[in-house]
Amino acid sequence: MASPFDDDEASETITDVALRLASRGFKIIPLYGIKTLRDGRRVCQCPEGVKCSSAGKHPRENDWVHNYYESGADVADLWQKYPGCNYGIVCGSEFGYCAVDIDRHTAQADGFQSMETILQMAGGIAGGAIWIAGRVHTTPRGGAHHFYRLPPPVDGKSFRSRSDILWDGCGVDFKSDGGYVVGPGSVTPDGEYTEQHVNPLMELPPWLRGWIAQRQNWVKPAPLPDWEPPPGPAELPDDLLALMSDLDAVPRYRHLFRIAAAARRADLSIGQAYALCLEWVQANQLAHPEVPGKWAGPSQPRLIAADLSRNWSKLEAERQRLEVHLPFDAPVDPHDLEIARQGLQEAVVDVSEGGPDFSRLARRLPDLETAARFVTKHEPVDWGGLEVDLPPAKWLVPHLIEQGRFILLYAREGAGKSLVLQQQMGAAVAGRILEGTGGDGTPATVLYLDRENGWPDLHERYNAAGFKPEDLHRLKYVLVDDMPMLNTRPGAQELLTLAYRYRADAIVIDTFSRFVDGEINAPDAPNAFFREAAKPLTDAGIAVVVLDHMAKDERVTGPIGSKAKTTSPHVVWRMWRKSETQLRLKCEKDRQKHVPPYLRCIQKSNPLNFLFEPMTKREYRTENSAAAAGDDDIPPEERTKRPPGRPQKSDVDKILPIVARLDAVFGADGEPAWSEARNAVKGDSNLIKPALEYRRLRQERSPRVGFAEDDT
């Protein structure tokens, strides 16, 4: 039997390489390929095209973890089915091999240097031959994929894929269960993946296996549910019966999830749901034997059981979300329930002529007791509060973080957003009056959830800021290791529980992308986070501060991923570093207009501190106009923008005659409206606004009047 541990020999075409690897036991999946545009640019074949950040590297098919290809005929057909495609090699304990992905990027840590460092710590083996002896593929950017025999499970726990397997930012990733690497012969805009060494695979070195084990979030293999006889077709609900009868549904794994969800709604056990899923898969295979996938072979029952076990808890959480429940099972006031019952009964007999027909709704309502609980749960606002003045805003960090607000602060990597929040939260819990900001010195309690930094970072930064242990007892700083994603109901419940336990005034999440899952460009994750976690917290008066990275493309403004990230927060701050000791923050959104449009942030040392000073729009524009275009103290996304009132050289000959005409009609100090200026000047209406702006700035003797230095 062919094995991936045998020797290989070189080949020439991408199809030949993939066929040879498949014959050795490697599992193949199709990836999107590269196409060349008319202007010569090489972009991804996927619908994103030029916007794709993983051009030529991401799978073409759903559920690639299980829908892999291993026979020569199936692999050869990939290039008939997807012309010009690339391919990937799926890794995992099921196949007996794994890969160590070593990156070498100029903007990131050198993975080879990280491996050498760990190798020296493990005994200093000269040359590092122990970790380059197996099969090695090279990447276009100078990295490498090192293949090894996958070690057996530890205490019943299997090795899973993980990024930065040595330490955060090390540039070394581990590919095992749930991971893949791009295969040799594949081409991306950076170049071609190639084979460097084709020696037999060796065991993963013990010193490297130990580091990987330390960084694993161990997950035991899903247990096989006990098969239980399901109800007969006559006893199944209509929706579940329809799903079982649909043998043409694709993709299969989604349809199985629908069957499991319908079984859970029908109060069937997991064993009965497992029996139904197995029955549907077998019927589907008989109807479509030509469709490949994971639902074949002797491993079929175990794979179905594993998927069902993973998804059952999600279905249970969704069921609980739809049920009527109150936090901590708080009792409902019987008087309120009685009033709600009377109101519902009165509504039944109250028929208004010419209005909506509420009798149609009445047929869809639950029983009276449940409906009354609904009514008491959603009380309308008391409009009598309009006559009462609102309390003044309470600031945790003056000008920046207000009590009870949902705040997003994003910046490019390395700008210092974590450093700023860590120091400011330390000052807030220590009750320090922040210099120049009007802090009242009242200590706050802050819950800080961090998946970005480690204890060495905290030790260095809080010592540099001059904090003592007794200063930080109200700062509940959690280096999160095992917490469900916060855009899910279980994760949100854990967060709300921690906030309740510590009586937090504010919660900081560092960073957002590490606490939610789902498609990065889809709005589902940020919307679910707001619904499940952020809104309950802010409704209780707890500030929620979320840190996030900025989009990598300098032509795009806003946080990385979906624009939905900026729709839910009350305040959105963008931060950039102006110099070693200067930062700037721009308020891009403020629902209640409580914060200044810009903040000047001065970084001090000995001890480390940050001083915030409000800036008006005029002050910011004046500061920007004083800097030459392209200087480092202007954020990259604004370097191509000229300050208002500075027309382009090509428009000078057109604008100045309009300015002269307006001066003649309205005088040099006149302030005509745009419509008046348009009637007085029978010219291009698109130039009237810049001409009026020029006159206004000239009258104010602003230093921005005139043209840019590079216009002459």
Same domain, 542 and 583: yes
Same domain, 691 and 656: yes
Same domain, 512 and 428: yes
Provide the domain count of the chain. Answer: 5
Same domain, 491 and 520: yes
**21 in any annotated domain:** yes
Q: In the prediction, which pLDDT does 158 show?
A: 72
Cis omega (within 30 of 0) for bond into 607: yes
How far does Cα 77 stand from its chain's mean position?
35
**1 in any annotated domain:** no
Residue 309's SS3 state is: helix
Same domain, 279 and 376: no
Q: Could you give the dihedral angle defined by the CA atoms of residues 204, 209, 211 and 217, in that order, rounded to the nearest 10 degrees?
A: 120
Same domain, 479 and 622: yes
Q: In the prediction, which pLDDT does 56 show?
A: 92
DSSP string covering 118-180: HHHHTT--GGGGGGSSS-EEE-TTS-EEEEEEPPPPBTTB--B-BSSSSSTT-SEEEE-BTEE
Same domain, 655 and 613: no
Q: In the prediction, which pLDDT does 291 show?
A: 62
What residues form DSSP beta bridges with 20? Answer: none
**4 in any annotated domain:** no
**222 in any annotated domain:** no
Q: In the prediction, which pLDDT does 67 show?
A: 80
Same domain, 689 and 544: no
Q: In the prediction, which pLDDT does 631 show?
A: 43
Q: Could you give the dihedral angle defined by the CA atoms of residues 494, 495, 499 and 501, in that order, rounded to the nearest 10 degrees?
A: 20
Q: In the prediction, which pLDDT does 439 show?
A: 45
**643 in any annotated domain:** no
Q: In the prediction, which pLDDT does 237 show?
A: 86
**58 in any annotated domain:** yes
pLDDT mean values, one per 10 residues, the chain (712 residues):
47 85 91 90 89 89 81 88 93 87 72 76 49 80 88 67 78 88 93 88 78 62 71 85 82 75 83 86 77 54 70 59 40 68 66 64 72 77 77 83 92 90 90 48 86 89 90 91 87 89 92 84 86 90 92 70 87 91 91 88 89 88 62 48 46 76 82 79 74 76 41 33
Sheet holding 609-615, edge to edge: 475-479, 446-450, 506-510, 543-549, 406-411, 571-577, 582-590, 598-604, 609-615
Measured on CA atoms in the order 95, 100, 104, 107, is the torsion positive or negative? Answer: positive
- Write out the two tokens for 607: 């001890």
**607 in any annotated domain:** yes
Same domain, 375 and 246: no
Same domain, 537 and 633: yes
Which of 340, 358, 386 is a domain's end point? 386
Measured on CA atoms in the order 308, 311, 317, 321, is the torsion positive or negative? Answer: negative
Structural domain for 292, as ranges: 233-322
Burial class (CB in 10 A: 0-12, 13-18, 19+), 225: buried
Nearest to 146 by CA among 101, 184, 81: 101
Same domain, 357 and 311: no
Q: How many helices (H) and strands (E) does the chain have?
A: 20, 24
Q: In the prediction, which pLDDT does 265 show?
A: 78
Distance (Å, whole) CA 295 – CA 326: 41
Same domain, 587 and 547: yes
**3 in any annotated domain:** no
